[in-house]
């Protein structure tokens, strides 16, 4: 069994790394914050001093970082992965970044004979914890086949969708659909409440029909409970939609609904809610309608 490096132990990365340990993999971990590193060490991992140190001691390196600049810094910055990685190693970037950045990673590491996959995930913190993430992968088939058992320790769905960058294209499509679903949910629940109908009963009535979705099952209970603790932060969804809008504009695809939801998220950020769960979209509608869905 090959030794794995894991760089980035945030809300998503830490439970993902723990699931790799539970599956019996040997892990070297690194993060800019010492506490999650020590937590993983107590769970059986080894601590890496820098990304370069992690790469030098492992054969497969996973990065799980906030956005393109952080990934590029971790890989190509001082003491970055590229400074320590060995020929024949594999870099699996599981961050949600711009597809163009994923392609740049592969191009810049190719002279070092390093294979690259972009493998962003969907499911938020709950699915990261229970190991049932949806993982969408871009890159060569042979490299995917080699790392698929590792990815399967973190996700219940692992799909190769195309060449490098395709994983993040798929993630952008996913984030657009999720954002629009949450916005539609917010509009509908606020309408029900303002009209005098119990939103909880509306949810029970529609969840088994065509309007039912994974988004509703995950987010309506949080909204009804007034629980806006982040599973996926507003700030991160803003980042993803910014990448979606940039990519869409680059290739000439109009995305008017995504643009509208982006403005709702920006309004939440202005209101100081950037660190709340993205189901806080409902609060935008509550403020406009002067009513509250929550019990």
What CATH number is given to the structural domain containing 239?
A: 1.10.1040.10
The verdict on 15 and 125 lying in the same domain is yes
Report the predicted TM-score, pTM, of the whole model to 2 decimal places: 0.91
Specify the pLDDT at position 1. Answer: 77
Q: How close are the terminal C-alpha atoms of the chain, in Å?
A: 50
Q: Is residue 295 part of a domain?
A: no
Do residues 27 and 147 share a domain?
Answer: yes
**178 and 285, same structural domain?**
yes
Task: List beta partners, residue 51.
Answer: none
Same domain, 89 and 212: no
Which is the catalytic residue, given 14, 18, 127, 171?
A: 171
How much is the pLDDT for 128? 96
Question: Phi-psi category of 219—alpha, beta or left, where left has phi over 0 and alpha has psi -120 to 50?
Answer: alpha
Domain match, 106 and 249 both: no
Residue 159 in domain? yes
- Domain contains 261: yes
Question: 275 and 213 in one domain?
Answer: yes
Within a domain: 251: yes
The CATH number of residue 43's host domain is: 3.40.50.720
Residues 159 and 207 in one domain: no
Q: Which one of 138, 164, 190 terminates a domain?
A: 164
Report if residue 294 sits inside a domain: no
Answer whether residue 108 is part of any domain: yes
269 is catalytic: no
> Same domain, yes or no, for 276 and 132?
no
* 151 plus 174 within the same structural domain: no
Range of the domain at 75: 4-164
Same domain, 196 and 264: yes
Question: What is the number of domains present in the chain?
Answer: 2
Out of 109, 137, 164, a domain closes at 164
225 part of a folded domain: yes
Does any domain span residue 100? yes
pLDDT 10s digit of each residue in the chain, 295 long?
Answer: 789 999 999 999 999 999 999 999 999 999 999 999 999 999 999 999 999 999 999 999 999 999 999 999 999 999 999 999 999 999 999 999 999 999 999 999 999 999 999 999 998 888 999 999 999 999 999 999 999 999 999 999 999 999 999 999 999 999 999 999 999 999 999 999 999 999 999 999 999 999 999 999 999 999 999 999 988 899 999 999 999 999 999 999 999 999 999 999 999 999 999 999 999 999 999 999 999 998 7
Supply the pLDDT for residue 294.
84
| Ordered DSSP codes for the chain | ---EEEE--STTHHHHHHHHHHTT--EEEE-SSHHHHHHHHHTTPEEPSSHHHHHHT-SEEEE--SSHHHHHHHHHSTT-HHHHPPTT-EEEE-S---HHHHHHHHHHHGGGT-EEEE--EESHHHHHHHT-EEEEEES-HHHHHHHHHHHHTTEEEEEEEESTTHHHHHHHHHHHHHHHHHHHHHHHHHHHHHTT--HHHHHHHHTTSTT--HHHHHHHHHHHHT----SSBHHHHHHHHHHHHHHHHHHT---HHHHHHHHHHHHHHHTT-TTSBGGGHHHHHHHHHT-----
Angle, CA 133 vertex, CA 127 and CA 139 arms, to 5°? 155
Helix axes 68-76, 99-109, angle to 10 degrees: 10
pLDDT at 231: 83
- The structure tokens listed for 108 are 């810049």
Tell whether 104 and 222 lie within a shared domain.
no
Q: State CA 90 to chain mean position distance.
A: 20
Same domain, 131 and 36: yes
In contact, 103 and 128? CB cutoff 8 Å? no
Of 131, 164, 197, which closes a domain? 164
- Are 241 and 175 within 8 A, CB to CB? yes
Q: Which residue has the tokens 């100081």?
A: 272
pLDDT at 295: 72
């Amino acid at each position: 069994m090959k030794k794995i490096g894991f760089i980035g132990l945030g809300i998503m990365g830490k439970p993902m790394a723990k699931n790799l340990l539970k599956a019996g993999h040997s892990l070297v971990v690194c993060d800019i914050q010492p506490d999650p590193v020590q937590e993983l060490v107590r769970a059986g991992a080894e601590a890496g001093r820098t990304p370069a140190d992690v790469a030098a001691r492992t054969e497969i390196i996973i990065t799980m970082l906030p956005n393109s600049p952080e990934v590029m810094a971790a890989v190509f910055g001082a003491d970055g992965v590229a400074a320590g990685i060995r020929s024949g190693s594999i870099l699996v970037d599981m961050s949600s970044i711009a597809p163009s950045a994923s392609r740049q990673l592969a191009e810049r590491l190719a002279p070092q004979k390093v294979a690259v996959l972009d493998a962003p995930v969907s499911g938020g913190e709950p699915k990261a914890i229970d190991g049932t993430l949806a993982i969408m992968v871009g890159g060569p088939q042979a490299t995917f086949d080699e790392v698929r058992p590792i990815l399967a320790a973190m996700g219940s769905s692992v799909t190769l969708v195309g060449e490098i960058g395709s994983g993040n294209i798929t993630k952008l499509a996913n984030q657009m659909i999720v954002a629009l679903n949450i916005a539609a949910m917010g509009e509908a629940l606020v309408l029900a409440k303002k009209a005098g109908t119990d939103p909880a009963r509306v949810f029970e009535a529609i969840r088994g029909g065509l309007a039912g979705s994974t988004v509703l099952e995950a987010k309506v209970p949080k909204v009804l409970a007034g629980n806006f603790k982040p599973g996926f932060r507003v700030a991160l969804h803003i980042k993803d939609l910014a990448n979606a809008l940039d990519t869409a504009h680059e290739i000439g695809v109009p995305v008017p609904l995504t643009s509208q939801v982006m403005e709702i998220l920006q309004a939440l950020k202005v209101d100081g809610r950037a660190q709340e769960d993205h189901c806080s979209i409902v609060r935008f509608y509550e403020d406009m309608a002067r009513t509250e869905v929550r019990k």
